[in-house]
Structure 1
Amino acid sequence: MTTPALSTTTRTAPVPVSSRRAAWHAYLALTARDLHVLGRNLPALLLQVGLQPLLFTFAFAYVMPSIGTGLGGATSFSTILLPGLIASTLTLQSIMSVTRPLAAELGPGREITDRALAPLPVCALGLQKITSSAIFGLVSSLVVVPIVWLVHAPGQAPRAHIDNWPLLLLTLVLCALLASVLGLLLGTAIDASAFGALLGLLLASATMLGCVYYPWTALHTIRWVQLLTLANPLVYMSEGLRASLTPSTGHMPTWVYLTALTLGTATLGYLALRRFTQRVQT
């Protein structure tokens, strides 16, 4: 009588429905908590988010045109500035909203262990941080629009025209996600002691070479600079919003910035979540 061979394959037990439901509830609860904190700190947020774009808009869209040194030529500089300033504000706030808390949570006190006690995989905990950060960045970007729209010299109002709302919304979501995964990656890669200086340097460099104050197509006369800026994620965010809001100013081809935003989000997201998981588990 032969004995049936034992199977060498192991079957993983399916995750109970109750566990999946608990994980989903925990995910929503953590996101709701972050949004509650956002609402509670809204006055300070408006001041923090609005001050920088207000000063930039006042200087470039009001003072300079008023003294006869406008940079926009036939097109008002506020028109050029609108999409770039939205992109830079969204990027800055999305990055800062995840890197600052993460630097503290991964610090000597290891506050991240408190969140790790939630019934969520560590990877999902990182995804939750990306979600909250992206929402924070999108809310912050809304502050820029009325500032640029209202603060300008006579006759220098921005001229925005939206032909494709789905494309604009898709671009905004991709921009917010890319900035959030970049923030998560920076938060796990930069040492807390050098966090402020390095992050400030990176953001300043990204802004100055991020096509915030000029269209990417205008750099064709300085070809090496135009090619150099392609390494900057902010360029694709600025150009994507410029294509949707102020297409008359010239912009990067749609397929180029959409491909860069999508692949950038996927690649940096994978690296950020992998790095985040390693930092939490060590």
Structure 2
Amino acid sequence: MANKVSTSTVFWIMVKRDLMIQLRNWSEFIFRVAMLPFILILTYGYVLPKIGILSPDFPNQMFPGMVGMSLLITGIHGTAVPLSMDFNNSREIEDRLQAPVSIKVTAWSKMVVGIIESWIGALIVLPVSILFMGSYLEFSMSGFDVLMLVVILLVSSITSATLGLLVGTIVKPMQIAAMFPGFLMPIIFTGAIFFSWDSLSAIPWLKGIVLLNPLVYINEALRSTMIETTTAMPLWLSVGGIIIFTIIMGTTGMKRFKKMAIR
């Protein structure tokens, strides 16, 4: 009698295979993940403060937003693009769906790869930021802040993967080129990277609209734990927003995944 393969074994085999594929293209991955943060940090965190257009405090305020942006965008891309390609081009997903496990296991394996990539994206920001903005950065973190930072990064990486799952079931491969200017750019520039949510009080209608952007909650949570500020969104509200968005996007994305898997 053949030994029954456990669900966890199948799950980690799927994850390992996707990570191995990414490892083969590691240079392309690093370039893709690092280029946007590099350009933004170089421009807004180094050049503009150096020439006096932005205040010396601006890079310190921007740094948490760069971490959140890199984490979210990398996680979305790492989940959505392979998923879209598998469903619409290679149809490799069909082989995985034949495995003797729940359909959800396949979706979770894709999300875990996105979560791992999102952490890598966040870590890549650190050396770039230190290189160009080191003289401007001032951290003020207690033991509780460090603990909360780890929790926020973990939950936010899950958020990025759930959004990637949802996007991957909507966007077709031929639409991926339009995803950056049409979807990711609005998320980036309304995501409280270069400003705090509270600073939008001068523009009330925009302050309300940006609450539909999950990146706002991620960056505000990071800002309140990483630097000393009184303008960040209350931590309970930002963390609550992250969790609510994660649940909504994860539930919707999983429903769409299951629907596409059984069609």
Q: Give TM-score, length-normalised by structure 2.
A: 0.92
Match of 2:139 among 145, 160, 177: 160
Q: How does 1:99-178 map to 2 (within 5 A)?
A: 99-152=80-133, 156-163=135-142, 164-178=145-159
What is the distance in 1 between the residues matched to 2:29 and 2:140?
A: 28
What is the distance in 2 between the residues matched to 1:203 and 1:247?
A: 29
Q: Is the 8 A contact 2:155 2:243 kept in 1?
A: yes
Inter-CA distance 227–247: structure 2 relative to 1 (3 Å threshold): farther
Unaligned segments of structure 1, at least 5 residues? 1-17
Q: Is the 8 A contact 1:94 1:179 kept in 2?
A: yes
Inter-CA distance 46–193: structure 2 relative to 1 (3 Å threshold): closer
Aligned equivalent of 1:44: 28
Q: Bigger shift: 100-109 or 168-177?
A: 100-109
Aligned equivalent of 1:276: 257
Provide the secondary structure at the position in 2 that maps to 1:106. Answer: helix
User: Which amino acid in the other structure matches residue 180 of structure 1?
Assistant: A
Deviation at 1:203, TM superposition (A): 0.5
C-alpha RMSD over aligned residues: 1.8
Match of 1:203 among 165, 184, 204: 184
Aligned equivalent of 1:187: 168
Q: Percent identity?
A: 25
Q: Which one has the largest radius of gyration?
A: 1
Deviation at 1:156, TM superposition (A): 4.6
Q: Give TM-score, length-normalised by structure 1.
A: 0.86
Deviation at 1:180, TM superposition (A): 0.7
Aligned equivalent of 1:22: 6
Q: Is the 8 A contact 1:54 1:147 kept in 2?
A: yes
Match of 2:243 among 262, 269, 276: 262
Deviation at 1:121, TM superposition (A): 1.0
What is the distance in 2 between the residues matched to 1:88 and 1:172?
A: 11
Q: Is the 8 A contact 2:75 2:164 kept in 1?
A: yes
Deviation at 1:199, TM superposition (A): 4.6
What do the CA deviations read for 1:211-239 (whole angstroms, capped 9, x no partner)? 01111111122222111111111101111
What is the distance in 2 between the residues matched to 1:108 and 1:168?
A: 38
Provide the secondary structure at the position in 2 that maps to 1:36. Answer: helix
What is the distance in 1 between the residues matched to 2:180 and 2:126?
A: 26
What do the CA deviations read for 1:94-150 (whole angstroms, capped 9, x no partner)? 111111111111115422112212232111111111111111101111000111121
Q: Is the 8 A contact 2:197 2:233 kept in 1?
A: yes
Inter-CA distance 200–98: structure 2 relative to 1 (3 Å threshold): farther
Match of 1:98 among 66, 73, 79: 79
Query: Where do 4+ consecutive residues of structure 1 move more than 4 Å?
Result: none
Match of 1:68 among 52, 55, 66: 52
Q: How does 1:199-238 map to 2 (within 5 A)?
A: 199-238=180-219
Inter-CA distance 143–198: structure 2 relative to 1 (3 Å threshold): closer
What do the CA deviations read for 1:241-268 (whole angstroms, capped 9, x no partner)? 1111113263110110111111211121
- Is 1:55 paired with 2:36? no
What is the distance in 2 between the residues matched to 1:229 and 1:168?
A: 22
- Is 1:86 paired with 2:67? yes
What is the distance in 2 between the residues matched to 1:199 and 1:126?
A: 23
> Which protein is richer in helix relative to its size?
2
What do the CA deviations read for 1:184-233 (whole angstroms, capped 9, x no partner)? 10111223332321453110011111101111111122222111111111
What is the distance in 2 between the residues matched to 1:190 and 1:40?
A: 25
User: Which amino acid in the other structure matches residue 43 of structure 1?
Assistant: S
Q: Bigger shift: 61-70 or 156-165?
A: 156-165
Q: Is the 8 A contact 2:218 2:239 kept in 1?
A: no
What is the distance in 2 between the residues matched to 1:124 and 1:170?
A: 24
What is the distance in 1 between the residues matched to 2:22 and 2:230?
A: 35
